[in-house]
Amino acid sequence: MSDRASGDDSMIIVMSSDASDHDVAHVVERLRGIGAEAHISRGQTRTVIGAIGERAQIQQLPWEAFPGVERAVPVLKPYKFVSRDHHSDDTIVDVGGVPIGGRYLTVIAGPCAVESREQLFAAAMAVHSAGANILRGDVFKPRTSPYTFQGLGEKGLELLAEARQQFGMPFHAEVVDPRDVELVSSYADMIRIGARNMANFALLAEAGRQDKPVMLKRGLTATIEEWLNAAEYIYKEGNHQIVLCERGIRTFETQTRNTLDISAVPVVRALSHLPVIVDPSHSGGRRNLVAPLARAAVGVGAHGLLIDVHPSPETALVDGPQAILPVEFAALMDEVRAVAAALGLDLPPGRPR
C-alpha cells in the first residue's frame, strides 16, 4: 500500500488569450483557498497555471466554468487504487482455485445463456474436455429487445452448481440487477458485470460488497479511463478481486458486431495491475472470427479468453451467430496452446480445488 493515493496532485489550467489579470488572480485565489499551490507561467499569448494540492479538492472544482479559463488538464488519473502507480505488481485473481493474471493464460468457456440441463451439460463437458478452466453460463440476460428470452434465473444457477460439481470446474455468471447480486454471488465463483451495465454505479457498488471476484466488461462506448474508473468503484467498496474484460467498442464499422479494441490490452496492462482478458465471441459477433481473434488476444498479451461455446448454435436462444461448436473450440484450444507456448505463457494447472 502506498500513501500516494491520498497524496498530492496537479492540474494544469490554461487561460484563454483574452483572460484578464483579474481572471488569473481569481483562479489563483481559489486554489489557495483550498490549500493548493499555484505556479504561474506567462507566455506571449497564454498564461498557464500549474496547481499542486489534494487530488479530490482540485478535481472537484469546475475550473472550466471560471471566467477566462480555456481548459483544465488533469495531470493525474481520476482513479487511484486500480492504478499501477498504487500497486506495481500484477494482481492474480483466484476464481474457485483457478488463477487469472500474471503469466497465466486462463480460458473461460461455455454457453452464453443457460437454456436447459441438456444444453448446459453438453457444453460443459465439451469445454472441460478441451481444456477450459472456468465455465460460463448466464441466467439473467440484458436484452436490447423486451421480446426475447430473458434467462432462467435461480433455476439456472442450480444447474451451473451441479455442472461445477460434475466437471470440477468453477463457474461465473452475469448480474444485471443490484437486487440479484447476493443471489448470484452465493452460487457463482465469480460474478460478471456486463458491458451494458459498466456504468451502472448501483450495481458496481453492490458487486464491490461481495466476497467473490468480479469480472468487469468494458462498456461498448467506454473509454479505457472510464472502465478503470468503474473498476475503482468496485475496489473502493472493498472487493479487490477484479478481472477486466475487453469485448469490443462501438464504431462506424458494421462488418463486425463491435470493434475489438485489441490495443486496450497492452494499454490496460501498463496503466493497471488488474488482469485483463478478451471476449472474442461478443466482439466479433460471428462464428468464423472467434478463432482468429482468440489467437490475436493471446498474441497481444491478454490474461485469458472468454468464449461462447454451444452444442447447437442454431437452436441457441441468445447470440447463436457467434457461438462456436465443441469441435471448433477444441481446434481453437490447440492453436491457443501453441501460441501461448511460443510466448512462454502457462495455462493454469490441471484441476481446481
State which of positions 153-172 bind a copy of itself (CB under 8 A).
Answer: none
- Interface with a copy of itself includes 254 (CB under 8 A)? yes
Q: How far is the CB of 168 from a copy of itself (least distance, A)?
A: 29
219 vs 142: CA distance, rounded Å:
13
Closer residue to a copy of itself, CB minimum distance, 129 or 201: 201
Type and span of the H or E element at 10: strand 8-15
**Minimum CB distance to a copy of itself smaller for 189 or for 319:** 319
Min. distance of Cβ 20 from a copy of itself in angstroms? 15
Task: Decide: is 299 part of the binding site for a copy of itself (CB under 8 A).
Answer: yes
Residue 249 in contact with a copy of itself, rule: CB under 8 A: yes
Indicate the residue among 76 and 125 with the shorter CB distance to a copy of itself.
76
> Which range touches a copy of itself (CB under 8 A), out of 59-67, 101-109, 117-125, 131-139?
59-67
User: Could you say whether residue 323 binds a copy of itself (CB under 8 A)?
Assistant: yes
Least distance to a copy of itself from the beta carbon of 170, Å?
26
d(CA 329, CA 42): 62
Instruction: Give Cα separations from 58 to 22, 37, 191, 335 (angstroms).
Output: 20, 11, 35, 50
User: If binding is defined by CB under 8 A, does position 33 make contact with a copy of itself?
Assistant: no
Compute the distance between CA of residue 88 and CA of residue 247 in angstroms, rounded to an integer: 25
Beta bridge partners of 191: 173, 214
Strands 93-95 and 98-100: antiparallel
Q: What is the CA radius of gyration of the chain?
A: 23
Report in angstroms how near the CB of residue 165 gets to a copy of itself at its nearest.
30
Instruction: Cell numbers for 268, please give them.
Output: 490496460
Which one among 60, 165, 350, 353 touches a copy of itself, defined by CB under 8 A?
60
Does 236 contact a copy of itself by CB under 8 A?
yes
Neighbours of 116 (CB within 10 A): 13
Q: Does 145 bind a copy of itself (CB under 8 A)?
A: yes
Stretch of residues binding a copy of itself (CB under 8 A), selected from 5-13, 90-98, 103-111, 163-171 = 5-13
Locate 317 and state its grid cell: 436462444
Phi-psi region of 39 (alpha: psi -120 to 50; beta: other; left: phi over 0): beta
User: Which of 46/209 has CB closer to a copy of itself?
Assistant: 46
